[in-house]
């Protein structure tokens, strides 16, 4: 590894990075969307206060919500995301945009930090490069996101290294889930009874690294919220981000946004595909159940984010009031959350161990499909309310810029972020 030549210590571990995991009950609300969750942990370690916080509300009184997680869900687009592909995971943020990394790009733009990808390139000693990048960042006191490491190519948090970089240490959502837990060792347990993983031969399992760079001046809150709302609208209204026939396998046949609800409902109504065989029911139930969980969590936090946006752009003397549209969109998202619990209840409730057996009932599946299409209608209503707010804010901003011009052209009265006239295609004005 040549750590001595580079001047790196043999072992460095950053202590105090909060653990990340799938929901286990307890006082914290679920944070099961992995990218926003790991970044909430990293930002907390770096000493950042809650982003955009006025104190968010939990659905249940005993649950605690971290404002930063709600903020990251919104700015990344995860709060508005749903994807449906046969055999795929409905919350895979890698397929949010036409190229992987769209969610990260929007997230880092909104938190005010630089970042860089490190990928495996031909003609380079990638193993040494990955180890050098990890060592250098840990030496700076900054964790690294490793996509893969332990589990599928979702981000893990690398919090340290040992043996000059032959072993990495950190947190992963999958570190206690077979088969990903096989061969792992663990650091001494922290106060919640869990310890960081220790992974040897980690390079082959790691698809890429995300290196967090320097902190820079963050854009003003109103600018961030406008940009984030425009991105959320694009996420909702783009049916396929890579519709071309030669798109890579992960993109082919993958429906996003409103189109994902249609594909999901059709899946439940395809009676010929379902049977009473328990193994088949279990297999077919898994993506459906995952989609219910994604929508329930994402839209609840999305409603919290939209409330943040409403507070940021609430109008005032001489300004157009815009909070009504944002709160209307937030209410639609809260409704979607509640609709997903209705879907769970049709199969015995969230976490019911025999829920997959209830899926053999055609009436149950068709009732679920009706609720899912109702949730789709709420998604469309939320998008229209958010778009109405953006149109008002953008029109106001443009009016302020053009009021000093003696004879403004019609083009000058439209926002540079949404240059299309009303009625044409485009995520903010359509």
21-44 residue pLDDT tens: 999 887 778 899 999 999 999 999
**357-364 mean pLDDT:** 97
More confident residue, 34 or 386: 34
How many CB atoms within 10 Å of residue 145?
25
CA neighbours within 13 Å on the CB side: how many for 201? 3
Domain boundaries for CATH 3.90.70 within the chain = 3-215
pTM confidence score? 0.86
Q: Mean pLDDT of all residues in the chain?
A: 85
What pLDDT, on the 0 to 100 scale, is given for residue 25?
A: 80
Percent of the chain beyond pLDDT 70? 83
Classify domain 3-215 by CATH number.
3.90.70
H-run or E-run covering 171: strand 167-171
Residue 420 DSSP symbol: S
pLDDT confidence band for 357 (50 / 70 / 90): very high
pLDDT confidence band for 2 (50 / 70 / 90): very low
pLDDT confidence band for 154 (50 / 70 / 90): very high
pLDDT confidence band for 401 (50 / 70 / 90): very low
Could you give the CA distance from residue 295 to residue 375 in angstroms, rounded to a whole number?
9
**2-31 mean pLDDT:** 83
Task: Show contacts of 213-221: CB within 8 Å, 24+ apart.
Answer: 213/113, 213/114, 213/115, 213/116, 214/113, 214/114, 215/112, 215/113, 215/114, 216/112, 216/113, 216/114, 217/112, 218/110, 218/111, 218/112, 219/109, 219/110, 219/112, 221/52, 221/312
Percent of the chain beyond pLDDT 90? 70
Q: pLDDT tens-digit profile of 98-153?
A: 988 999 999 999 999 999 999 999 999 999 999 999 999 999 999 999 999 999 99
What pLDDT, on the 0 to 100 scale, is given for residue 376?
A: 98
Task: Show contacts of 262-267: CB within 8 Å, 24+ apart.
Answer: 262/373, 262/376, 263/84, 264/82, 264/84, 264/90, 264/288, 264/291, 264/369, 264/372, 265/369, 265/370, 265/372, 265/373, 265/376, 266/369, 267/84, 267/86
What pLDDT, on the 0 to 100 scale, is given for residue 191?
A: 63
Share in percent of the chain as helix, strand, coil (round to 5): 45, 10, 40
**CB of 303 closer than 8 Å to CB of 313:** no
**189-207 mean pLDDT:** 91
């Amino acid at each position: 590894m040549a750590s001595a030549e580079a001047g790196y210590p043999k072992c460095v571990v950053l202590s105090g990075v909060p653990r990340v995991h799938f929901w286990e009950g307890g006082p914290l609300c679920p944070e099961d969307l992995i990218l926003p969750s790991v970044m909430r942990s990293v930002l907390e370690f770096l000493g950042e206060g809650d982003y955009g916080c006025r104190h968010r509300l939990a659905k249940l009184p005993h649950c605690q919500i971290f404002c930063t997680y709600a903020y990251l869900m919104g700015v990344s687009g995860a709060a508005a995301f749903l994807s449906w592909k046969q055999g795929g995971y409905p919350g895979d943020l890698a397929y949010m945009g036409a190229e992987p990394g769209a969610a990260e790009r929007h997230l880092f733009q909104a938190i005010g930090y630089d970042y860089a990808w490190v990928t495996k390139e031909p003609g380079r000693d990638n193993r040494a490069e990955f180890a050098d990048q990890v060592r250098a960042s840990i030496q700076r006191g900054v964790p690294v996101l490793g996509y893969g490491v332990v589990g599928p190519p979702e981000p893990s948090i690398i919090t340290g290294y040992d043996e000059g970089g032959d072993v990495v240490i950190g947190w992963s959502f999958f570190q206690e889930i077979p088969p990903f837990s096989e061969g792992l060792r663990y650091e001494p347990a922290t106060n919640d009874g869990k310890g960081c993983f220790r992974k040897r031969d980690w390079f082959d399992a790691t698809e890429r690294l995300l290196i967090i760079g320097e902190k820079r001046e963050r854009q003003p809150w109103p600018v961030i919220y406008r940009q984030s709302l425009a991105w959320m609208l694009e996420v909702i209204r783009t049916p396929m981000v890579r519709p071309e026939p030669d798109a890579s396998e992960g993109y082919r046949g993958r429906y996003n946004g409103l189109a994902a609800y249609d594909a999901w409902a059709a899946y439940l109504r395809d009676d010929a595909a379902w049977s009473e065989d328990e193994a088949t029911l279990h297999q077919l139930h898994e993506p459906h159940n995952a989609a219910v969980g994604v929508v329930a969590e994402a839209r609840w936090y999305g409603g919290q984010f939209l409330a943040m946006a409403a507070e940021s752009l609430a109008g005032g003397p001489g300004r157009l009031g815009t909070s009504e549209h944002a709160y209307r969109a937030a209410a639609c998202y809260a409704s979607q959350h509640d609709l997903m619990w209705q879907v769970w209840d049709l199969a015995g409730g969230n976490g019911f161990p025999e829920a997959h057996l209830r899926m053999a009932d055609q009436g149950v599946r068709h009732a679920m499909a009706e609720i899912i299409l109702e949730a789709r209608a709420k998604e469309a209503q939320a998008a229209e309310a958010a778009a109405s707010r953006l149109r008002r804010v953008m029109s106001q901003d443009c009016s302020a810029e053009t009021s000093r011009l003696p004879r403004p052209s019609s083009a000058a009265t439209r926002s540079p972020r949404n240059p299309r006239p009303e009625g044409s295609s485009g995520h903010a004005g359509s």
